[in-house]
Structure 1
Amino acid sequence: MAPGLDALNARVREELGWIDVPAQNWVPPIRWNGQDVRDVVIVGAGMAGLAASGALLKAGIRNHVVYDAAPEGQEGPWVTYGRMETLRSPKTLPGPCLGIPVLTFRAWYEYRFGRMAWEALGFIPRALWMDYLVWIRTILDIPVENETRLLSVTQASDGILALHLVKNGVPRVVLTRCLVLATGRDGLGGPYLPPVLAALPATVCVHSSSPIDFDGLAGKRVVVIGGGASAMDNAAEALEHGAARVDMLVRRPDLPRINRFTGIGSPGVTHGFAHLPDDWKWRFLDYATSEQVPPPRLSTLRVARHDNAFFHLNCAVESASLNDGVVRLQTSRGAIETDFVIAATGFSVDLAHRPELAAFADNIRFWQDRFMPEQDNRVNGRINPELALSPDLDPAFAFQPRDPSATPGLGQIHCFCYPATLSHGKISGDIPAISDGADRLARGIAGALFVADRAKHFQALQDFSRPELQGNEWTDSPLPG
């Protein structure tokens, strides 16, 4: 019989107490214009935001809050546009446990369902992973405020940012010294919809991250554009909800077979990637992104088991039109008609999609602003646009300016989401190394706050007066002889 979550919760609290987590706050409080100033604000309460908050608590930075636009329990993709049956990652990965074994998914699962259930488990069901993240949030007492959207960021004063927020239609301003954007795959942009589809209305063409009424696709023809994990998951959902047929249009002549980064996954990559020379960082990621990540085998079989599912490889969409409710797609292999199109075409970095960063956008430095790979370091001789538009981040994930004299508050904004990959490696969005990334972020923020407050800490050093010795512990004696 499984011990149950009550027993696990008691054990977690005991073990966290043994290592003094959360640590005592050490950052001097600050007020500005009569208003309290947060040390850190995190935007995004998905897996990355929770890990970042937990790491700050471990580091004794307790004056922080996490905001998320979604309702409670719907943060991140897991129960919204994530439509896979199970996670791709192996169940044994530590994930957002902050390096604390009792906070792992395995501990949570075994206490809830038992050791035999764990041994029988294959991959982690998606909804169950969300349940685990909700538990992490609860047991660590992560300070989350839901249904709160960040509208804009401005500089209030030297070292202080003003965050303009809205919740339930009510605006407010929160002051903070550091802002962490834990905003996921589309953290610096949004869903990418190919221009060729731009003329189609949202009633017949949506991105795979959009809310989709799959029940409404019953009996209809559906086209899914793309061949990655999201394409397979959305195609399967349409088929399982009764679509008459689903055609998958894949631009590549074949589906990728090998997940290259899996083959070199190690603590060496986790801790060493950020220290690579720029040309080697580019070389690793240019090759990996050009090879692409294959869709999971189980997700692909989930589609292929349907007789009304059809794969069309080497099939690029060249034009699209809508006539009498029917979508006509002209492809490199001919024309196809359909009732509904799902574009599983990924995300792009595009600051025009992030109005909250408008005050700083023109000064954010991207890799293309300072680095151009040599010809022999370019896959197929081309510049990889995804890498070129990656933000050039400092060791603490903070943005760096094109013009150091402009937007001085830019360095207080930290990009702890997928676009950080070229600067830091895969530690800010994926399950395997998310705790390592959160630890690096928290250490960087802690260092910056201590340096900024050095005069106060020095004064505290001078003012400290609690005696260790009382003066009566010894007696002075004359020298012998």
Structure 2
Amino acid sequence: MTQSPTPATGLPALEARLRQDLAWLELPAKHWVPERTYNGQPVLDVAIIGGGMAGLAAAASLTHLGVGAVIFDQSPRGFEGPWATTARMETLRSPKQLTGPALGLPALTFRAWFEAQFGLEAWDALDKIPRLQWMDYLRWYRDVLAIDVRNDHRITAVTPQGADGLVALSLTSPAGEHTIYARHVVLATGRDGLGGPTVPAFARELPRRFWAHSSDVMDYATLRGKRVGVIGAGASAMDSAATALEAGAASVDLLIRRADIPRINKGKGAGNPGLTHGHINLPDEWKWRIRHYVNVQQVPPPRGSTLRVSRHENARFNLGAPILDVTPVGDELQVRTAKGTFVLDFLVFATGFRIDIEGRPEFAAFSKFVRKWSDRYSPAAGDEDIELSDSPDLGTAFEFLEKTPGDCPGLERIHCFCAPATLSHGAVSGDIPAVSEGAKRLAQGLAGTLYREDVAHHYTNMETYAEPEVYGDEWTPAPPPPAFDSETATKGEERIA
């Protein structure tokens, strides 16, 4: 943005307002979880893996309830999540007025942050939130709430230690390799949180120099002068195609399996507080039915992202063009589709993500014990859905459940607060509209669990609590009443009669 800050407010004034709001609400609560050590080192209350929007909201919610939370993120400071790395949209698709991770605090919203710097007129003129400006807001969010984020820390193993009531995190950082311990661990690992990018089988047979996934870190300037194919028609396909065109690609062919591009975001039609808070308690068949319908209908690409592609004359939308096979010929690719053969230099697969927890080496200690929805529910014929079947079956605090009880003690100490939680909890663990509600649900569940685990300790604290509220000098004891004379009392009664 090019607007100059509004002197009457500015970020310092907004931050003072936020501090006042927190003080009025008595937030954060005083830390109350008993301190523990293990192997001579302090044990964290909660460790959060991932410092993007969901991880930040989870940490803030826990801190507000008096629970300690530390975030570990593999990225450099200020580059957590996809916004400044692999995301390529110009603006967010979410409406600008959504409050996102603000946790019910008006001074913590993007709007408050924006208006404090650029004023109300600029807010009214804003259509959608620029992607990099959203990242700037999240950086401020982290700083203004003093969230403890340890950057450049990559988790290499997550190991439940049931007998000790802990989870061990093996990690590498600039200080080397070491292990930390936490009573609970939250996986706030984003869209690909329990798996990774998915590509068709034929892609894995191609030399890697010919292709990339839309989520890969990649310099699109390398596509200058090349004939590029983008497979897919969703938001990431449009963003990748537009970025390639803007980087000077000779042409971009979108290869779209469907005969038409989805037009209506069906999930948006169901969005309301009832669904946000009620999805978790729906019968299994309704949970499946709702999420399967959204998957089948597919979410359309944003209008702005699509226009960003179509304004280029060398962009082509090839509908009804599923890929039949791809053959490398020298430095070219012959891509045979139902609509004909395309000769291309490079392919971008905008084909989404898969849930594959057993394919993530850092989860090897527990992944095979995780109960999935395929272990819980069998859909009606015709309603099969691999994404939903592979989704973890989660408890009320987003905790993993054992496929076979007793096989992995301590598994319930690992919590899935990322996209694969959607079937169990609804869209509250990563998308902007309801991330605050999800973070509060997670934090409240963890606070309750931690209290239950230490109830004997808290009861002893109650028994030994000895801070008086009354000191004994607030009153003067009355003298005893005069001696009682039964004969006089009897005569008095006779006179009354």
Tell me if both proteins adopt one fold, taking TM over 0.5 as the criterion: yes
Q: Is the 8 A contact 1:180 1:413 kept in 2?
A: yes
Offset, 1:387? 0.5
Instruction: Normalising by structure 2, report the TM-score.
Output: 0.94
Question: For residues 160 and 309 of structure 2, what CA distance do their matches in structure 1 show?
Answer: 50
Residue 115 of structure 1 aligns with which residue? 120
Structure 1 runs (4+) greater than 3 angstroms displaced: 475-481
| 1:25-64 → structure 2 map (5 Å cutoff) | 25-62=31-68, 64=69
After superposition, give the CA deviation of every residue in 1:396-425 in whole Å (9 maximum; x if it has no partner). Answer: 000000111111111000000000000000
Asked whether the equivalents of residues 197 and 319 of structure 1 are also in contact (C-alpha less than 8 Å), the reply is no
Q: 1:4 aligns with which of 4, 10, 16?
A: 10
Q: Is the 2:193–2:419 contact (alpha carbons within 8 Å) kept by the matching residues of 1?
A: yes
Letter of the structure 1 residue corresponding to residue 466 of structure 2: S
* Residue from 302, 305, 318 that aligns with 1:299: 305
Q: Which residue of 2 aligns with 1:92?
A: 97
- Asked if the contact 2:358–2:368 (Cα under 8 Å) also holds between the matched residues in 1, the reply is no
Report the 3-state secondary structure (helix = DSSP H, G, I; strand = E; otherwise coil) of the residue aligned with 1:242: coil
The aligned amino acid for 2:155 is L
Structure 1: gaps of 5 or more residues: 376-380
Trace 1:278-317 onto structure 2 (pairs within 5 A). 278-317=284-323
- The structural deviation recorded for 1:5 is 1.1
User: Is the partner of 1:87 in helix, strand or coil?
Assistant: coil
Q: Over residues 25-84 of structure 1, what are the superposed CA-to-partner deviations in whole Å (9 max), with x where a residue is unaligned?
A: 01011112322100100000000000000001111112x210100111111111111100
Q: Which residue of 1 aligns with 2:384?
A: 383
Determine the structure 1 residue equivalent to 2:155. 150
Is the Cα contact below 8 Å between 1:247 and 1:310 reproduced in 2? yes
1:262-297, Cα deviation, whole Å (9 max, x unpaired):
112111111011110111000111111100000000
Q: Deviations over 1:313-342 (max 9, x none)?
A: 111112112121111112122211100100
Q: Tell me if 1:244 matches 2:244.
A: no
Measure how far apart 1:231 and its partner are.
Answer: 0.1
Task: Tell me whether 52-61 or 8-17 shows the greater mean CA deviation.
Answer: 8-17
* Alpha-carbon distance in structure 1 between the residues aligned to 2:320 and 2:95: 31
The answer on whether the counterparts of 1:55 and 1:98 sit within 8 Å (CA) in structure 2 is yes
Query: For 2:342, what is the secondary structure of its paired residue?
Result: strand
Give the counterpart of 2:354 among 348, 352, 356.
348
Deviations 1:428-475 (A, max 9, x none): 010000000000000000010000001100110111011111112223
8 Å contact kept, 1:221–1:244: yes
In structure 1, distance between residues paired with 2:84 and 2:234:
19
Deviation at 1:169, TM superposition (A): 6.9
User: Residue type of the partner of 2:18?
Assistant: V
d(CA) in 2 for partners of 1:368, 1:36: 38
- 1:126 alignment partner in structure 2: 131
Aligned amino acid, residue 126 of structure 1: R
Matched with 1:460 is 461
Alignment partner of 1:42: what SS?
strand
- Secondary structure of the residue aligned to 2:377 is coil
Shift of the alpha carbon at 1:476? 3.9
Counterpart of 1:378? none
- SS of the equivalent of 2:313 reads coil
State the Cα deviation string for residues 142-166 of structure 1 (Å, max 9, x = none).
0001110000022344211111000
Q: Secondary structure at the match of 1:433?
A: helix
Q: Secondary structure at the match of 1:238?
A: helix
Correspondence for 1:102: 107
Deviates more, 1:430-439 or 1:470-479: 470-479
State the secondary structure of the residue aligned to 1:154. Answer: strand
Distance in 1 between residues matched to 2:477 and 2:328, nearest whole Å = 99
CA apart distance, 1:98: 1.0
When the two structures are superposed, what TM-score results if normalisation uses the length of structure 1?
A: 0.97
| Matched-pair contact (CA < 8 Å) for 1:196–1:318 | no
For the Cα contact (< 8 Å) 1:199–1:321, is it kept in 2?
no
Q: Secondary structure at the match of 1:444?
A: helix
Partner Cα separation in structure 2 for residue 102 and residue 290 of structure 1: 39
Tell me which residue corresponds to 2:470.
469
- Please name the residue that 1:448 is paired with: 449
- Cα RMSD of the aligned pairs, angstroms, is 1.3
Structure 2 counterpart of 1:309, which letter? A
| Alpha-carbon contact 1:83-1:237 (below 8 Å) kept | yes
Asked if 2 retains the 8 angstrom alpha-carbon contact of 1:51 and 1:96, the reply is yes
Q: Which amino acid aligns with 2:23?
A: G
Greater CA drift, 147-156 or 182-191: 147-156
